[in-house]
């Protein structure tokens, strides 16, 4: 791996654990101002110091992230369709690699829609983005998107989508957790990070998902809604970090979560007194 590419990968994946806790805040590109992302600057600011990388579009990067920040940026560069359409697979590349380089990002990310109506276009876009990324030393993350077909989140489908993405040259893949997730990881020769999907009923359920993913061999998380739609986003992020970087059990991560909640409540009382 050339120096620029290697340096960018190492900035996102922590040296000791080899893993990464990326915070995904790119949902607005097709969902609009979804719950708790109405004011992205306010959502992002407290999370930024605890994120190994931040996933955003260029619009939100410019608007909501201070340029003095040293948090690695994972730039979403695909789009072109919204939740108002039935088929979400008709995406294209919406941000050039030159702009990604100008924005000094650590990696670029795009959704790939394996098995969808626009599968061919999607995989060609991925290949073209990888060619451009390799030329600039910028790693490409493929996101194995399922669109509205949530039932596609099974090991057989995800293993295929991840493997195809890696074969085309993606340096890392983001996918969804599923039963038998180890099978997905096993078949993919590049690091996999796990998305959280829609907000789960409890923080515990999100921690269990993270724990299951790490146990199965994932190199971390690229999680959004289960962090910033939680009532305690920073505490949740710290608890997830304990799983990803320190191999904490779910019970230990819950202790981190509760400890952080108690600390926050104490400092809030102190401010109010």
Binding footprint of ligand 5RP on the chain (CB under 6 A): 24, 26-27, 55, 143, 195-197, 222-226
85 is catalytic: no
Minimum CB distance to ligand 5RP, residue 247 (Å): 21
Residues 6+ apart with CB under 8 A from 197: 150, 153, 176, 177, 225, 226
Kindly tell me which of 225 and 241 has the beta carbon lying closer to ligand 5RP. Answer: 225
Kindly tell me which of 50 and 137 has the beta carbon lying closer to ligand 5RP. Answer: 50
Kindly tell me which of 24 and 140 has the beta carbon lying closer to ligand 5RP. Answer: 24
Minimum CB distance to ligand 5RP, residue 270 (Å): 33
CA distances for 39 relative to 23, 25, 42, 50, 241, angstroms: 16, 11, 6, 19, 24
Kindly tell me which of 35 and 247 has the beta carbon lying closer to ligand 5RP. Answer: 35
Minimum CB distance to ligand 5RP, residue 273 (Å): 36
Please tell me which residue in 148, 174, 247, 261 is annotated as part of the active site.
Answer: 174
Q: Which residues are catalytic?
A: 174
């Amino acid at each position: 791996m050339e120096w620029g590419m290697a340096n960018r990968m190492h900035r996102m994946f922590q040296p000791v654990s080899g893993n990464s806790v990326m915070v995904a805040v790119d949902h607005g590109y097709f969902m609009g101002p979804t719950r708790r992302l109405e004011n992205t600057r306010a959502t992002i600011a407290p999370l930024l110091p605890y994120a190994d990388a931040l996933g955003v579009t260029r619009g939100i990067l410019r608007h909501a992230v201070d340029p003095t920040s040293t948090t690695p940026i994972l730039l979403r560069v695909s789009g072109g369709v919204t939740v108002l359409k039935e088929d979400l697979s008709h995406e294209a590349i919406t941000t050039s690699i030159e702009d990604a380089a100008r924005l000094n990002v650590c990696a670029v990310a795009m959704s790939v829609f394996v098995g969808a109506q626009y599968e061919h276009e999607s995989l060609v876009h991925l290949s073209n983005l990888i060619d451009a990324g390799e030329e600039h030393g910028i790693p490409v993350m493929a996101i194995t998107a399922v669109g509205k077909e949530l039932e596609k989140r099974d090991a057989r489908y995800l293993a295929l989508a991840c493997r195809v993405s890696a074969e085309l040259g993606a340096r890392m893949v983001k996918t969804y957790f599923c039963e038998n997730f180890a099978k997905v990881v096993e078949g993919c020769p590049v690091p996999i990070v796990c998305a959280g999907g829609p907000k789960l009923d409890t923080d515990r359920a999100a921690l269990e998902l993270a724990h299951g993913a790490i146990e199965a061999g994932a190199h971390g998380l690229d999680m959004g809604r289960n962090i910033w739609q939680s009532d305690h986003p920073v505490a949740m992020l710290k608890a997830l970090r304990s799983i990803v970087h320190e191999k904490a059990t779910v019970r230990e991560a819950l202790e981190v979560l509760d400890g952080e909640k108690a600390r926050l409540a104490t400092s809030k009382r102190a401010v109010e007194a």
